[in-house]
Structure 1
Amino acid sequence: MLPTAARRSLAGLIPPKIATPGAVSSGTTSVRTAQVIDFYSKLPKGPKPASERPGGLRGRYFEGKNASGVPLLVTVGTLFLIGYTIDYNMHLKHHKSGHH
């Protein structure tokens, strides 16, 4: 992986102005290391509250107390019916010019 790609993927995890390599490697007694520890100790811990869960179809059908596989079954059934309808109509077009 390129260094820039690694840096971009970690950019959301480490605040750039607080946790610099110099601050982290300067020892555990430095003021900047204390700032880094203080920053991370204030972050929320544990699962997200119910109000912060994703909305829309995913939040409504696949997460929470109403979780079920019904949307997946409906999607498979709908695709089957569409495919069957297309196949049937193509078969009728085949018989239009005569029997096989």
Structure 2
Amino acid sequence: MFASASRRALGSLIPPKIASPAAVSSGGTSARTQSVIDFYSKLPKGPQPAAQKATGLRGKYFEGPNASGAPILATIFILFGIGYTIDYNNVKS
């Protein structure tokens, strides 16, 4: 891969340089640095809030200690049984 192509490919992964040595050593902050500081100061601080537990069928069968695929298999077998019964009765008549 060419150097310019790799630079373009990695450009989205490597953050832009927001502070130059002159801006940092002069004690002042540039407008670009100030916008980054404002952005990060608005982010929530502290631990992440606990996730809400799922309720209903999802919480009962698909999450938690009793999680299993049994309801999905039961639904497939029930639909197969209904379809087989309908097809059997249509062919019979």
Shorter-chain TM-score bucket reads 0.5 to 0.7
Q: Structure 2 unaligned segments of length 5 or more: list them.
A: 1-29
Q: Structure 1 unaligned segments of length 5 or more: list them.
A: 1-24, 94-100
Larger radius of gyration: 2
C-alpha distance in structure 2 between counterparts of 1:36 and 1:91, whole Å: 69
Q: Once the 2 structures are TM-superposed, how far is the Cα of residue 78 of structure 1 from its aligned partner? A: 0.5
Give secondary structure in 1 for the equivalent of 2:64.
coil
C-alpha distance in structure 2 between counterparts of 1:68 and 1:40, whole Å: 38
C-alpha distance in structure 2 between counterparts of 1:43 and 1:55, whole Å: 27
**How big is each residue's C-alpha offset from its partner over 1:36-76, in whole Å with a ceiling of 9 and x where there is no partner?**
21222427538x43xx0332222221112121011111101
Corresponding residue to 1:39 among 42, 67, 75: 42
Matches within 5 A, 1:1-100: 26-28=31-33, 30=34, 32-42=35-45, 45=48, 48-49=50-51, 52-93=52-93
Distance 1:39 1:65, change over 3 A: farther
2:40 alignment partner AA? I
Q: Give the fraction of aligned pairs with identical amino acids, expressed as a percent.
A: 45
Superposition TM-score, scaled by structure 1 size: 0.50
Cα RMSD of the aligned pairs, angstroms, is 2.6
